Amino acid sequence: MELHNVVSSNLSKVGYDAGSQTLLIVFKTGSVYEFANVPESSFIELMQSPSIGTFFSKNIRRRFPYKKVV
């Protein structure tokens, strides 16, 4: 999975695996979370959003199953 650096006050990197529909979020604190069953369209919208953090909070966090990796 390729990780993309993002400009955000809380998020540091974002990665996505289309085959498993897994979204990986790396926070600036160093915490890493995997979100499952995330459609590719949601990843694309996240990356194109003028505010990645706001989009993440409104459209991904608590809407998809997740687990803390690190």
pLDDT for position 35: 98
pLDDT at 13: 98
| pLDDT for res 16 | 98
Question: Strands, E, within 1-70: which ranges?
Answer: 3-5, 11-17, 22-27, 32-35, 66-68
Expressed as residue numbers, the domain containing 17 is 3-68
The pLDDT value recorded for residue 54 is 95
The two three-digit tokens of residue 38, written as one number: 């995330």
Q: Express each pLDDT in 3-55 by its tens digit.
A: 999 999 999 999 999 999 999 999 999 999 999 999 999 999 999 999 999 99
pLDDT (0 to 100) of residue 45: 97
Domain count of the chain? 1
- CB-based contact 28:18 (threshold 8 Å): no
